[in-house]
Chains A and B, each alone.
Chain A
Amino acid sequence: MFTNFPFFPQQASVQAGQVDAVYFFLVAVTAFFSLLIASLIVAFAIKYRRRDDSEVGAAIHGSLALEMLWSIIPLGIVMVMFVWGAKVFFDLYRPPAGAMEVFVVGKQWMWKIQHADGNREINELHVPVGRPVKLIMGSEDVIHSFFIPAFRVKADVIPGRYNVLWFEATTPGTYHLFCAEYCGTKHSGMVGSIVAMEPADFQAWLGGGGASESPVAAGQRLFTDLACNTCHIETQQGRGPMLTNLFGGKVLLQNGATVVADEVYIRESIVNPQAKIVAGFQPIMPTFQGLVTEEQLLQLIAYVRSLTRASREGAAGTSQ
């Protein structure tokens, strides 16, 4: 127990330095004010200790100047914290374009991970250093949370929607992965490792067996198996809206509203098609709730997404 206890977490991502900087600022402010108050109290308690039982204190009521001083200075300090923290949050929140995508499905009590080229992992995630990695995460059951302390990133994984988390690893190594939202009996067992590797080693790992069907290919297979292609055909004349070039664009709904066709919209359209009916179409799509797993949903989404970047004939492009 006493041989190896770290005092401070390793910095293994680009984000870690940013987060630690604001942390140290707050530690300094906390230490300063705590020590200030503590010292003042000790000093006053000694200097003004009661010497006689009938003694009373000075007849001082207050000072507007002091009240202003110790309201405005703390206000200024916390505003710095607010702006700085907001900036760091925006950086952590917005994945850069071109990030390497990985799908994550959390379920009691494991993490199921699928790379874009089909490599699947359970409770482990191999990533290259020096490259932004973006995780698209869903849950099969309850709320979980994907937490990598060494990277200083965390995002809840919530059933019924997708949350995104991104990071860029800087140092090869193996880092803790924790579930950080209580999810039942084996919550503390829902842990794993992030394995950051040099790019060459990572490519070797990707190619070295274990890869199965890519999500796009799996999605294409499901699309046929589940008969999606009988209504969603390659022209506008199908019973369902055409899906080519759908992803990322705006969709006009029956009730006049428009939505952006993102991962959440595609997922909802599969499990709860009645929620948003596209203008000009009948609400006849059956629900696939319970007929597809969260992983399969991600694969279908990957496939629909791929219909934007390649023609319908031929290329089963991996999403890059």
Chain B
Amino acid sequence: MATLTYLNNGHGLASWLLTKDHKRIALLYLVSITAFFVVGGLFAMLVRLELLTPTGDLLAAETYNKMFTMHGVVMVFFFLIPSIPAVLGNFLIPIMIGAKDLAFPRINLLSWYIYILGGMFTLVAALNGGVDTGWTFYTPYSTAAANSHVITAALGVFITGFSSILTGLNFIVTIHRMRAPGMTWFRLPLFVWSHYATSLIMILGTPVVAITVLMVAAERTLHLGLFDPALGGDPVLFQHLFWFYSHPAVYIMILPAMGVISEIVQAFARKNIFGYSFVAFSSLAIAVIGFLVWGHHLFVAGQSVYAGLIFSFLSFLVAIPSAIKVFNWTATIYKGSVSLDSPMLYAFGFLGLFTIGGLTGLFLATMGLDIHVHDTYFVVAHFHYIMVGGAIMGYLGGLHYWWPKISGKRYSEPWAKFSALIVFVGFNLTFFPQFVAGYLGMPRRYHAYPPEFQVWNVASTLGASILAVGYLIPIIYFGYSLVAGEKSANDPWGARGLEWEIPSPPPTENFTVTPVVTEGTHQYVRPTQEVGVA
């Protein structure tokens, strides 16, 4: 007799497409964001293949411009922003706080459909010929000069923004109102804290980019003069409005990964996080200060120098909570009982690469230096260190850590370690040369470039090919585990957390009776202590 889990509780397409179970919705998201990741990755491969040679000989200039634009739009809006919150957050947050589901299950499902609808708009834009404005849609190029499918793509982004807003709204209400008795704020897993901070950004920032892309679409169709200098508009106003969201958006992309790392480091060092409240509050600090730094994207745009000084200062300030986290994670490993299972390998990768990525951000916050590196490959390298070396490592680490809980199966650990290594090597080979090329002066979004940059580009493309392999292998062994993997116990890692107290995979209602919590989930103790003694 098969036990009833959320996976076999209801069969058929309708039971999945009309589900209200947060765990099933998480899997719907998992499938769709993986698909978008592959699409975004294909665009990246075309970009990198073109850049093997200095001349633009593979793609026409206009096609190349569409490739990097679509790569950015798909990766940012359809992969990075939803990834951890919509897959891992959706799956785990109710369980981690002792609830049966999120506060608004139907809105959760609606958020997935909105995401799919936005994705369809963007794919239609791509299939009809693409958009070539860069994912940043700067005016007046996007409103007046571009003759690609700006409106369709902008609407795709607009629609998907609501998916993000609804997810954030759901998380906030859930965390406030649905914690189990005894689950006080300071007993919450750090994964929940970081998703709470992320959700604050989602609800406050996303509406601004929504109205901004709507204004771009309106200007294109109705010839309003909001950003067109010929009609009295200010193109730099667009930049302010756009970056007011898009800077905090990068914190939407990294904070959830930081939450994953907190969980993994504790589990695989079998030790309390060092400095729990500092790590928890630093997530909130990043969310708040992150809203105040957007002007660092406008240092060379002719922004007031005094405004620039304030933005530069705050940009340095926002680095401090991230530094605090890195030190706390490292201190957690000290005197821990360290196991190098694949999730921990991804966490280590994150720690090193996020440190480099974060510190290279300081180069950009330094006003006098930003003049030189702004809009070069230095910036590209910086944000890929954070987004790929940081966020995607966090996502993969989390997928590996919670895979046994989500699927009830174990994946092949040797293959997982191997692909983690491939990802690490491939990643660094792809993006480190870009720091060099950037400081040398290679601008971004260049279809063709002077020959002296070629060696760095070749190295980068070679790295990208290796990285691609590293990303494909998990798809294979995760898939294989579903059909032929060994069954997992409730707690395959010996970790702490409400999610490890329930079966793998969990039943639909998570808990038949609301748990009464007595301890924080981050408490690990020595074996000499007796059971039952706090």
**A interface residues (Cβ-Cβ under 8 A, vs B):** 1-2, 4-9, 18-19, 22-23, 26, 29-30, 33-34, 37-38, 40-41, 44-45, 48-51, 53-63, 66-67, 70-71, 74-75, 78-79, 81-82, 84-93, 108, 141-143, 145, 147, 149-150, 152-156, 158-161, 163, 176, 178-189, 191, 272, 275, 289-290
Asked whether B372 lies within 8 Å of A59 as measured between CB atoms, the reply is: no
Query: What would 16 more interface pairs be, CB under 8 Å, given A63-B275, A86-B367?
Result: A7-B440, A33-B355, A37-B352, A37-B355, A44-B330, A49-B339, A53-B494, A56-B527, A63-B274, A66-B275, A67-B275, A70-B327, A82-B312, A163-B302, A180-B374, A189-B448
- Whether B185 sits at the interface, judged by CB under 8 Å, is no
Q: How far is the CB of A59 from chain B (nearest CB, A)?
A: 6
In the bound complex, residues from chain B placing their C-beta under 8 Å from that of A184 are 65, 132, 141, 145-146
Asked whether B441 lies within 8 Å of A9 as measured between CB atoms, the reply is: yes
In the bound complex, residues from chain B placing their C-beta under 8 Å from that of A187 are 61, 65, 445-447
- Whether B320 sits at the interface, judged by CB under 8 Å, is yes
Known contacts A19-B371, A59-B272, A1 near B454 by CB under 8 Å = yes
Asked whether A44 lies within 8 Å of B334 as measured between CB atoms, the reply is: yes
Partner of B330, one of A40, A153, A275: A40
Known contacts A26-B366, A58-B336, A85-B366, A75 near B452 by CB under 8 Å = no
Closest to A54 in B: B527
In the complex, what distance in Å separates the CA atom of A75 from the CA atom of B524? 32
Asked whether A89 lies within 8 Å of B65 as measured between CB atoms, the reply is: no
Known contacts A57-B271, A57-B335, A179 near B278 by CB under 8 Å = no
Partner of B369, one of A37, A88, A145: A88
In the complex, what distance in Å separates the CA atom of A58 from the CA atom of B336? 6
Partner of A56, one of B439, B451, B526: B526
Known contacts A57-B335, A178-B441, A185 near B62 by CB under 8 Å = yes
Partner of B301, one of A8, A142, A158: A158
* Interface positions of B from 366 to 408, Cβ below 8 Å from A: 366-372, 374-376
Known contacts A185-B62, A272-B232, A142 near B145 by CB under 8 Å = yes
Instruction: List 10 A-B pairs, Cβ < 8 Å.
Output: A48-B333, A50-B338, A56-B337, A56-B524, A60-B335, A92-B371, A143-B301, A145-B300, A181-B375, A182-B134
Q: How far is the CB of A120 from chain B (nearest CB, A)?
A: 24
In the complex, what distance in Å separates the CA atom of A55 from the CA atom of B336? 9
- Whether B162 sits at the interface, judged by CB under 8 Å, is no
Q: How far is the CB of B240 from chain A (nearest CB, A)?
A: 13
Closest to A29 in B: B359
Asked whether A2 lies within 8 Å of B330 as measured between CB atoms, the reply is: no
Asked whether B141 lies within 8 Å of A34 as measured between CB atoms, the reply is: no
Asked whether A81 lies within 8 Å of B362 as measured between CB atoms, the reply is: yes
Asked whether A85 lies within 8 Å of B327 as measured between CB atoms, the reply is: no
Q: How far is the CB of A315 from chain B (nearest CB, A)?
A: 33
Closest to A61 in B: B272
In the bound complex, residues from chain B placing their C-beta under 8 Å from that of A55 are 270, 337, 527
Contact flags B214-248 to A (C-beta < 8 A → 1, else 0):
00000000000000011010111000000000000
* Interface positions of B from 271 to 321, Cβ below 8 Å from A: 271-272, 274-278, 299-302, 305, 308-309, 312-313, 316-317, 319-320
* Interface positions of B from 415 to 436, Cβ below 8 Å from A: 436
Closest to B303 in A: A156
- Whether B365 sits at the interface, judged by CB under 8 Å, is yes
Asked whether B312 lies within 8 Å of A57 as measured between CB atoms, the reply is: no
In the complex, what distance in Å separates the CA atom of A57 from the CA atom of B455? 46
- Whether B458 sits at the interface, judged by CB under 8 Å, is yes
Known contacts A143-B141, A187-B446, A161 near B269 by CB under 8 Å = no
- Whether B56 sits at the interface, judged by CB under 8 Å, is yes
6 shortest interchain CB distances as A-B pairs? A149-B441, A88-B368, A160-B229, A57-B271, A85-B366, A57-B336
- Whether B507 sits at the interface, judged by CB under 8 Å, is no
Contact flags B323-349 to A (C-beta < 8 A → 1, else 0):
110111011011111111000000010
In the complex, what distance in Å separates the CA atom of A5 from the CA atom of B452? 5
In the bound complex, residues from chain B placing their C-beta under 8 Å from that of A143 are 138-141, 235, 301
- Whether B490 sits at the interface, judged by CB under 8 Å, is no
- Whether B532 sits at the interface, judged by CB under 8 Å, is no
Which residue, of A87, A108, A161, has the highest number of chain B Cβ atoms within 10 A?
A161
Q: How far is the CB of B43 from chain A (nearest CB, A)?
A: 16
Asked whether A156 lies within 8 Å of B371 as measured between CB atoms, the reply is: no
Asked whether A179 lies within 8 Å of B443 as measured between CB atoms, the reply is: yes
Known contacts A57-B269, A70-B323, A149 near B372 by CB under 8 Å = yes
- Whether B104 sits at the interface, judged by CB under 8 Å, is no
Asked whether A19 lies within 8 Å of B309 as measured between CB atoms, the reply is: no
In the complex, what distance in Å separates the CA atom of A149 from the CA atom of B436? 13
- Whether B12 sits at the interface, judged by CB under 8 Å, is no
In the bound complex, residues from chain A placing their C-beta under 8 Å from that of B441 are 9, 147, 149-150, 176, 178
In the bound complex, residues from chain A placing their C-beta under 8 Å from that of B276 are 61-62
Closest to A32 in B: B359
In the complex, what distance in Å separates the CA atom of A74 from the CA atom of B446? 36
Q: How far is the CB of A141 from chain B (nearest CB, A)?
A: 6
Asked whether A84 lies within 8 Å of B366 as measured between CB atoms, the reply is: yes
In the bound complex, residues from chain B placing their C-beta under 8 Å from that of A87 are 368
In the complex, what distance in Å separates the CA atom of A271 from the CA atom of B312? 34
Known contacts A154-B372, A185-B61, A71 near B324 by CB under 8 Å = yes
Asked whether A44 lies within 8 Å of B313 as measured between CB atoms, the reply is: no
In the complex, what distance in Å separates the CA atom of A61 from the CA atom of B335? 12
- Whether B465 sits at the interface, judged by CB under 8 Å, is no
Q: How far is the CB of A20 from chain B (nearest CB, A)?
A: 9
Which residue, of B234, B275, B300, B301, has the highest number of chain A Cβ atoms within 10 A?
B300
In the complex, what distance in Å separates the CA atom of A29 from the CA atom of B319? 14
In the complex, what distance in Å separates the CA atom of A88 from the CA atom of B232? 34
Closest to A9 in B: B440
Which residue, of B62, B440, B494, has the highest number of chain A Cβ atoms within 10 A?
B440
Q: How far is the CB of B150 from chain A (nearest CB, A)?
A: 12
Asked whether A74 lies within 8 Å of B360 as measured between CB atoms, the reply is: no
Closest to B345 in A: A45
Asked whether A49 lies within 8 Å of B61 as measured between CB atoms, the reply is: no
Asked whether B138 lies within 8 Å of A182 as measured between CB atoms, the reply is: yes
- Whether B482 sits at the interface, judged by CB under 8 Å, is no
Q: How far is the CB of B193 from chain A (nearest CB, A)?
A: 15
Contact flags B465-499 to A (C-beta < 8 A → 1, else 0):
00000000000000000000000000000100000
In the complex, what distance in Å separates the CA atom of A89 from the CA atom of B371? 8
Closest to B60 in A: A185
Asked whether A158 lies within 8 Å of B236 as measured between CB atoms, the reply is: yes
In the bound complex, residues from chain B placing their C-beta under 8 Å from that of A289 are 230
- Whether B17 sits at the interface, judged by CB under 8 Å, is no
Partner of B271, one of A2, A38, A58, A182: A58
Closest to A46 in B: B338
Asked whether A154 lies within 8 Å of B275 as measured between CB atoms, the reply is: no
Asked whether A41 lies within 8 Å of B348 as measured between CB atoms, the reply is: yes
- Whether B144 sits at the interface, judged by CB under 8 Å, is yes
Asked whether B333 lies within 8 Å of A44 as measured between CB atoms, the reply is: yes
In the complex, what distance in Å separates the CA atom of A9 from the CA atom of B374? 15
Asked whether A74 lies within 8 Å of B320 as measured between CB atoms, the reply is: yes
Q: How far is the CB of B81 from chain A (nearest CB, A)?
A: 22
Q: How far is the CB of B435 from chain A (nearest CB, A)?
A: 9
Asked whether A188 lies within 8 Å of B371 as measured between CB atoms, the reply is: no
Closest to B233 in A: A160
In the bound complex, residues from chain B placing their C-beta under 8 Å from that of A145 are 300, 375
In the bound complex, residues from chain A placing their C-beta under 8 Å from that of B180 are none
